[in-house]
């Protein structure tokens, strides 16, 4: 047992539905079951750097289970060992880990629950090396963390994306159009794959399976010839043509992970129209995928992962990220997760099922 009295909690990286469910479960079990004080760190690692935190009460986590976002705030621009600050009009990087360690000491934080994706876990791994006691909880709509079969937030994002694809279906049919829907997911295709499968997309384009435009155009033309009035294409933002590169929307220079993807949907729509003569439109679903009420699945997953994190913490099993493996609650060392991406295997069961029912991956 670790005999803890006071712990900190932070949510870092891009937000996602279910973060509040984790915060609630950590505070409820921390205060109620383990008799701890829980300090909420504001805006992820930024609050640790800028010394912004407060002791959380049970009242603060009342009625937040169903709320999207995070009551603590988040930031995806504040990794302590590589923190960007503006000096004389330009961004420079500094290692502010010493400030972070001092703030933890001043607040008597004996251990931290760190909720985040791969960037957050990479930051946690460096803080662990410097002596902080941390347990990680995996979140991201992208589901791209290694060591866990699933992250909370993903199921809600899939439901949101599938609903959008369903809606696009009817307008595409009315106008005999190709509709391309660009979805998030960074360099992993889980979100596009699951949403496309759930909504019966005709083509799914994901980063792990580079596509040929000619193959995509061929599908649209074949469908048109047999009287199918619409073609729905779900494309992950990190998808790319064979021999091509990812499409970059912009570079966010003060972020430790500066590349923001975007533009592949528009490209696919334009090229499909050029090759087929069929009117094509694209939409980018964007941050709507990160919002809203978490699904029941994500609320349960977030709560159980949080409770498992608290068990590890009070047992003194630090340096671990809680995980789900083959339906069981497990944990993996954070340093084995940091900096890696859980990608879709081209022979994943979901890909095979999609191919079995005639969905094309454009290759």
Which residues here bind ligand F6P, judged by CB under 6 A? 14, 76, 117, 140-142, 184-186, 237, 260-261, 290
In the residue annotation, 95 being an active-site residue is answered as no
Please give the residue whose beta carbon sits closest to ligand F6P in the complex. 184
Closest distance to ligand F6P from the beta carbon of 251 (Å): 11
Is 58:38 a contact under the CB 8 Å cutoff?
no
Is 272:217 a contact under the CB 8 Å cutoff?
yes
For helices 154-175 and 190-199, what crossing angle results, to 10°?
50
Closest distance to ligand F6P from the beta carbon of 59 (Å): 30
Closest distance to ligand F6P from the beta carbon of 73 (Å): 14
Q: Hey, what's the torsion of the CAs at 282, 284, 289, 291, to 10 degrees?
A: -130
Residue with smaller CB distance to ligand F6P, 214 or 249 = 249
| Apex 262 CA angle, 215 and 194, nearest 5 | 60
Question: Helix, strand, or coil here: 124?
Answer: helix
Residue with smaller CB distance to ligand F6P, 239 or 314 = 239
Of the listed 142, 144, 155, 202, which one is catalytic?
A: 142
Distances (CA, A) of 319 to 4, 48, 60, 105: 16, 18, 28, 18
Residue with smaller CB distance to ligand F6P, 292 or 355 = 292
CB burial of 216-235 (b: ≥16 within 10 Å; e: otherwise) equals bbebbeebbeeeeebbbbbb
Q: Is the dihedral of CA 252, 253, 255, 258 positive or negative?
A: positive
Residue with smaller CB distance to ligand F6P, 184 or 337 = 184
Cross-strand pairs, 91: 86
Closest distance to ligand F6P from the beta carbon of 222 (Å): 32
Residue with smaller CB distance to ligand F6P, 107 or 247 = 247
Half-sphere CA count of 162, side-chain side, radius 13 A? 16
Closest distance to ligand F6P from the beta carbon of 143 (Å): 10
Question: CA 152: distance to chain centroid?
Answer: 8
Active site residues: 142
């Amino acid at each position: 047992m670790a005999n803890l009295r006071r712990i900190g909690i932070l949510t870092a990286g891009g937000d996602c539905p279910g973060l509040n469910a984790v915060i609630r479960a950590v505070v409820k079990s921390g205060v109620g079951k383990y008799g701890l004080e829980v300090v909420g760190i504001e805006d992820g690692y930024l609050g640790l750097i800028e010394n912004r935190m407060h002791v959380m009460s049970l009242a603060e986590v009342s009625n937040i289970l169903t709320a999207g976002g995070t009551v603590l705030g988040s930031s995806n621009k504040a990794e302590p060992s590589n923190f960007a600050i503006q000096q004389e009009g330009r961004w420079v990087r500094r290692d502010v880990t010493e400030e972070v360690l001092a703030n933890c000491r001043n607040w008597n934080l004996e251990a931290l629950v760190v909720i985040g994706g791969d960037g957050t876990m990479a930051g946690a791994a460096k803080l662990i090396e410097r002596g902080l006691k941390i347990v990680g909880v995996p979140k991201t709509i992208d589901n791209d963390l290694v060591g866990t079969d699933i992250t909370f937030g993903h199921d809600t994002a899939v439901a949101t994306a599938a609903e959008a694809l369903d809606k696009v279906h009817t307008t595409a049919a009315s106008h005999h159009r190709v509709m391309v829907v660009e979805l998030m997911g960074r360099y992993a295709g889980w979100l596009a794959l699951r949403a496309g499968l759930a909504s019966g997309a005709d083509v799914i384009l994901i980063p792990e399976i580079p596509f040929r435009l000619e193959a995509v155009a061929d599908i649209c033309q074949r469908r048109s010839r047999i009287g199918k009035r619409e073609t729905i294409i779900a494309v992950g933002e990190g998808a790319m043509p064979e021999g091509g590169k990812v499409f970059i929307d912009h570079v966010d220079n003060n972020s430790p992970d500066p590349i923001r993807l975007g533009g592949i949907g528009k490209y696919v729509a334009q090229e499909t129209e050029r090759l087929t003569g069929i009117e094509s439109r694209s939409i980018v679903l964007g941050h709507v995928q990160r919002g809203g009420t978490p699904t029941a699945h994500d609320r349960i997953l977030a709560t159980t992962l949080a409770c498992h994190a608290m068990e590890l913490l009070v047992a003194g099993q630090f340096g671990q990220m809680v995980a789900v493996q083959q339906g069981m609650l497990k944990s993996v060392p954070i340093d084995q997760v940091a900096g890696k991406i859980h990608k879709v295997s081209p022979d994943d069961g979901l890909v095979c099922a999609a191919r079995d029912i005639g969905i094309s991956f454009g290759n």
